[in-house]
Chains A and B, each alone.
Chain A
Amino acid sequence: MTIQKFKLVTIIAEPILAKQIKAEIRVLGSSGVTSTEVSGEGDRNLNTGEVPGNKVKIECVVESKIALKIMEHIAEKYFDHFSVITYSQDIEILRPEKFSKPAPPGRSAHGPKK
Chain B
Amino acid sequence: MMTPYELFKMNLLSPLVLAFVLGIFAKVIRSELSLPKDLYTSLSIYLLLALGLKGGVELSLTTFQEIAWPALVTLFLGVLTPVTAYLAFRKLGQFNPIDAAGIAAHYGSVSAVTFIAATQFVASAGGQIEGFLPTLLTLLESPGIHVALGIGALHRVRSKAGTAGQGSSPSVLHEILTSRSLLLLVGGLVIGFLIGEKNYEPIKPFFESGFKGALVLFLLEMGLVAGERLKDLKRTGGRIVTLGILIPILHGTLGVLLGEWAGLSVGGACVLGAMAASASYIAAPPAVRMTLPEANPAYSLTASLVVTFPFNLLAGIPLYYAIASGLAGGL
Contact = CB atoms under 8 A, between A and B. Distances in A.
Q: Name, among A14, A50, A82, the residue most crowded by chain B CB atoms within 10 Å (CB to CB).
A: A50
A68 to B, nearest CB: 22
Given A16-B289, A16-B290, A50 B296 contact: no
Nearest to A14: B289
B225 A51 contact: yes
A4 to B, nearest CB: 36
B285 A46 contact: no
Contact of A48 (B228, B285, B294): B285
A81 interface: yes
Interface in B247-301: 281-282, 285-286, 289-290, 293-294, 296-298, 301
Contacts, number: 33
B37 A52 contact: no
Interface in B183-235: 225, 228-229, 232
A47 interface: yes
A65 to B, nearest CB: 26
Given A51-B37, A52-B228, A52-B229, A16 B286 contact: yes
A49 interface: yes
B298 A46 contact: yes
Given A81-B293, A81-B294, A49 B229 contact: no
Given A14-B289, A52-B225, A52-B228, A46 B37 contact: no
Contact of B289 (A48, A52, A80): A48
B263 to A, nearest CB: 36
B293 A50 contact: no
B285 A50 contact: yes
Interface string A68-108: 00000000010011100000000000000000000000000
A77 B290 CA distance: 12
B298 A47 contact: yes
Contacts of B297: 46-48
A20 B293 CA distance: 14
Interface string A38-57: 00000000111111100000
Interface residues of A, number: 14
A20 B225 CA distance: 27
Contact of B301 (A14, A48, A81, A82): A48
B260 to A, nearest CB: 34
A50 to B, nearest CB: 7
A103 B284 CA distance: 34
Contacts of B228: 47, 52
Contacts of A49: 285
A42 B281 CA distance: 22
A109 to B, nearest CB: 10
A50 B290 contact: no
Contacts of A80: 293
A77 B281 CA distance: 26
A47 to B, nearest CB: 6
A47 B301 CA distance: 8
B281 A50 contact: yes
B161 to A, nearest CB: 12
Contacts of A47: 228-229, 232, 297-298, 301
9 contacts: A16-B286, A16-B289, A46-B297, A47-B228, A47-B298, A48-B289, A48-B297, A52-B228, A77-B166
Interface of B: 37, 166, 225, 228-229, 232, 281-282, 285-286, 289-290, 293-294, 296-298, 301
| 5 A-B pairs closest in CB distance | A81-B293, A48-B297, A52-B228, A16-B286, A16-B289
Given A48-B285, A50-B225, 16 more contacts: A14-B289, A16-B286, A16-B290, A20-B166, A46-B296, A46-B297, A47-B228, A47-B229, A47-B297, A47-B301, A48-B301, A49-B285, A50-B282, A52-B229, A80-B293, A81-B293
